[in-house]
Amino acid sequence: MKTAVVVLLVAMVAAVSASECDMLARLNVKSQWMRAYSHGRDREHFAEAIWRAVFAQVPEARSLFERVGGDDTSSAKFIGHAMRVLAGLDISINLLDQPDALKAQLEHLHHQHDERHIPARYYQALDRALMHVLPAQLGRCFDKEPWKACFHDILDGIKG
Amino acid sequence: DCFREPEHQRRLQSVGHPKMLRILLVLGLAAFCVAKTPVSHCCSAEDRHIVQKQWHTLFDYMEHSSKLKIQFGEILLLKLAEAKPEVKEAFKRVNIDHPESGEFASHSVRILDALDMVINLLDHPEALNEALEHLAHQHHGRAGVKKEHFKLLGEQLINEELPRVLDEYDLMSWKACMHGILSGIAADVPA
């Protein structure tokens, strides 16, 4: 009986910590991101991989990016945009452990996206793209549960 | 470009003028390049790599601690506001009057990340130009924002802040590359 209770408790703790963006999950996500984000050309390729994965899922989303060279993800114009997006994500992920600053950052991003009327499935496509490109970048060091939990919070903040 | 002279020199030597004259000419050219143009166009490949490497040691360190990142960004902006009180107006929207606020913290980090973005694009001139043009556009029309503010911000960063936190620091490389970056961002604001 006692063992059953312990097992149940452990299972509950595991379930809770797996689906929640708590402080440990945030630190985990931060350190994974740091490694995936990388530098220079590697970062450009990382960004391009994410956007190709997005456009492969929702090709019609390209039209939203006409102004920033969305028809060619390798163009300098689009790379410039893709780096801005990653910088926005970098800031948000970095601030996961600074609730007030994170809130302000997400409000800023929300404000930038609000009037573009982006369908929810585009955000889902970005979510799914990251969940595929990140493990490609990090190998088995990618930890899915904390990412899912914390990145959902970030996306919700941007969607508002 | 100042350091891509060898071919040019070789051509001069093959022309067959007196040796002394050639040397003087080359020295004169070099001196002109160093003195007259304030190293602005001399962000050479080596300069870029030095800047990137040195910046990464700092930025990676700050990525471990968002508090450090926030504080470094805040110091930059608050020092600028101290020297040029009129810029406070431009940062009112991000609550500079309450530097401890989340708004000001996140804005400080945004500025550092923009800098990180352009430094990481230094090896990709077309994309760098796109990024700089976008930043220039974002600063265009901001009330009270002037070129001299960017100049001062750059000077404080290059001469004071960075040397204090970087063990390895090459002032000339930073000067050479930051000049182009800052004048790119300040392209659309009044002098």
The reported pLDDT for the residue numbered B141 is: 87
Report the sign of the C-alpha dihedral through residues A137, A140, A144, A150, in that order.
negative
Sequence ranges of the domains in chain B? 41-186
Domain interval for residue A113: 2-159
Q: Tokens 């040195």 sit at which residue?
A: B54
The pLDDT, as a whole number, for residue B30 is: 60
CATH of domain B41-186: 1.10.490.10
What is the number of domains present in chain A? 1
Binding residues of A for heme b: 113
Q: How open is the CA angle B28-B29-B35, to the nearest 5 degrees?
A: 85
Whether the CB of A105 is below 8 Å from some CB of chain B: the reply is yes
The string of pLDDT tens digits covering residues A134-145 is 999 999 899 999
Provide DSSP, B86-126: THHHHTGGGTTTSTTSHHHHHHHHHHHHHHHHHHHTTT-HH
Testing the interface with B: which of A91, A110, A111, A154 to mutate, by most B Cβ within 10 A?
A91
Q: Do B123 and A40 touch (CB under 8 A)?
A: yes
pLDDT of res. B127: 96
Query: What pLDDT does B25 receive?
Result: 65
- Is the pLDDT reported for residue A37 higher than 80? yes
- The answer to whether B82 faces chain A, any CB pair under 8 Å, is no
Q: How far is CA A160 from CA A21, A111, A115, B110, in A?
A: 18, 9, 12, 20
pLDDT band at A8 (very low <50, low <70, confident <90, very high): low
Q: Residue A18 pLDDT > 70, yes or no?
A: no
Using CB atoms within 10 Å of the CB of residue A66, give its burial: 0 to 12 exposed, 13 to 18 middle, 19+ buried.
Answer: exposed
Mean predicted confidence (pLDDT) in A20-43: 94
Q: What is the pLDDT of residue A146?
A: 96
DSSP code of residue B189: S
Q: Going residue by residue through chain B, which has 191 residues, state the pLDDT in tens, using 9 for 90 and above.
A: 444 444 544 444 444 556 777 767 666 656 554 544 444 458 999 999 999 999 999 999 998 899 999 999 999 999 999 999 999 999 999 999 999 999 999 999 999 999 999 999 999 999 999 999 999 999 998 888 999 999 999 999 999 999 999 999 999 999 999 999 999 999 999 99
**Residues A55-83: what's their mean pLDDT?**
96
What pLDDT score does B157 carry?
97
Residue A150: C-alpha distances to residues A33, A153, B84, B100 (Å): 12, 5, 39, 24
pLDDT at B10: 46
A102 contacts in chain B (CB < 8 Å): 102, 106
Please give the pLDDT value at position B9: 47
Radius of gyration of chain A (CA): 17
Q: Which of B185, B179, B183, B184 is nearest to B44 (CA)?
A: B179
The domain that holds A144 is classified in CATH as 1.10.490.10
Predicted pLDDT at B31: 57
CB B77 within 8 A of CB B112: no
What is the predicted pLDDT for the residue at B18?
A: 64
Q: Residues A35, A141: contact at Cβ < 8 Å?
A: yes
Mutation for B interface: A23, A31, A67, A83, most B CBs within 10 A: A83
Tell if the CB–CB gap between A83 and B70 is shorter than 8 Å. Answer: no
